Structure formats: structure tokens, C-alpha cells
Amino acid sequence: MTIFVFDLDGTLTPPRLPMSEDFEKFFISWSKDKKCFIATGSDFKKVTEQMSEIAMNAFEGIYCSMGNVLWQKGEIIYKNEFKADVRLFEMLENYRSSTNYPYQLFDNYIEKRDGMINFSVLGRDCPYHERERYYAYDKEHKEREKIKNELMSFFPELDIAIGGMISMDITPKGCGKEQVAQKLREKYPDEKIIFFGDKTFEGGNDYSLALAVLELGNSSVVQVSGPDETKEILKNM
């Protein structure tokens, strides 16, 4: 049997938006005789906002917060802790207060999740159009990349992944998405593992997991442009 692993935002759903009804319906029926997992940077609450309970139940397990928590059928199987250095928080506060971003900022800019921190200069409590505005600003000014590079030189023991549109995911080294590959291989020593992600290229937040999956052997990675392409590929499998 093949093990299918899916990133969430940009792969099964548009970023931070619900899975389409059509895709949910298709997926529930397609996955009936298969073993599927999600591997996402988001926490479980966000997954529940983007997917119906029936669709979530189509997955054998949901690795949240970069694989730092595993949910199975509504129960936590394990979770990791991350006690970050106080100087990290000071620097994050400083990036927030000294940003040159010229528009409104929102609350929830340092979100502590199990085993990781999500940091967004803009703040996670922003409406969707503000995400798009920050994303365009960041593309031009590379604010997140600059912050990431600076933080990595101060804290070499950390990993930082710029995954979505407005934020970055901070974890101890080795506790990023890549940890999901080993955990799956322990569970399924002989099965083929296929990972679907929209950012499996260098610099993307699926890259570390894509590399780790390929290193396992008897595995492959599928780069997709979005949920529509994921669905098309699954249809033909």
C-alpha cells in the first residue's frame, strides 16, 4: 500500500481558506481504500477551520505545527515542546515595532504553537485582503527573508521556514516539517511514500520534508501549483 502525505495550504486548500466542497467530496471517496496524512505548519484549530470533520476523518493522521503534534481521529498522539530563548522574543518584538511596512498592523504577531513559534510582522488577526497587501510588500522588500537571515545568524540552533503569505515558522533545528518523514518511515517501513506540496522547491516550506522523503527511498515528491492540480493528479492515479 502507498502512503499519501499532503501539505495543507496551497496543496489541499487555497492558503488559509477552506477546501472546496467539490474537492472534499472527491477526496473522501478517492481516499476510501488509501492511507493519507496531512503535514502542515498550521495548528489543529486552523485545520478545523479549513476542512469539514468528514474530510478530516479521511486522513489516518494530521501532523500539525510542522510535525510537532500528531492528531489521530480527534486525539493527540504526541506533542513536542519548544522553550525559546527570551532574546528571541525581544528580537521579534523589535522587528514588529521597527518595521517599515506602511500600513496597519494587527494582533497575534507572535503565535506560540506546540513545538514552534509562528511570527508575522503584520499580525495573524488581519483580514484576508491585508494578507495579500503584506504578501505583495514582502515580495518587493523581502522583509521576511531579511528577518530570517538575521535570526539564523543569531540563533544557529533554530530552523526558520517562510511558508505562507505573511509569517515564518520557527522551530528548534530538526523539528521542522522534515521530522514527519522519519516518523512515517518508522510506522511504515516498507511502504512507498508520496508527498504532495506546493512549495517543495529550495526556500519553500515543503522543501525540508520533500528532501527527507526522497532520502527515505521508495518514495517520491509531487510539486503542485494548487488544490486544482492536486485533484487532477489524484484523479489520474
Ordered DSSP codes for 166-212: S-EEEEETT-STTHHHHHHHHH-SSSEEEEEES--STTSTTHHHHHH
Q: Which three cell numbers stand for residue 26?
A: 472527491
Minimum distance between the CB of residue 82 and ligand M1P, rounded to whole angstroms? 14
Pairing of strands 75-79, 69-72: antiparallel
Degrees to nearest 5, angle at CA 171 with 169 and 172: 160
Q: Does position 176 bind ligand M1P by CB under 6 A?
A: no
Q: How many residues line the site for ligand M1P (CB under 6 A)?
A: 16
Reply yes or no on whether 9 is catalytic.
Answer: yes
Task: Give the binding range for ligand M1P (CB under 6 A) out of 21-29, 31-39, 72-80, 165-173.
Answer: 165-173
Least gap, CB of 42 to ligand M1P (angstroms): 4
Binding residues for ligand M1P restricted to 1-20, rule: CB under 6 A: 8-9, 15-16
Chain residues 189-228 in contact with ligand M1P, contact rule CB under 6 A: 205
Q: How far is the CB of 116 from ligand M1P (least distance, A)?
A: 8
Q: By CB under 6 A, is residue 40 in contact with ligand M1P?
A: yes
- The yes-or-no answer on residue 7 being catalytic is yes
Compute φ and ψ for 22, nearest 5 degrees. Answer: -60, -45
Q: In what order do the strands lie in the sheet with 69-72?
A: 75-79, 69-72, 61-64, 35-39, 2-6, 192-197, 219-223
**Which are the catalytic amino acids?**
7, 9
For ligand M1P, the binding residues (CB under 6 A) are 8-9, 15-16, 40-42, 46, 118, 163-167, 169, 205
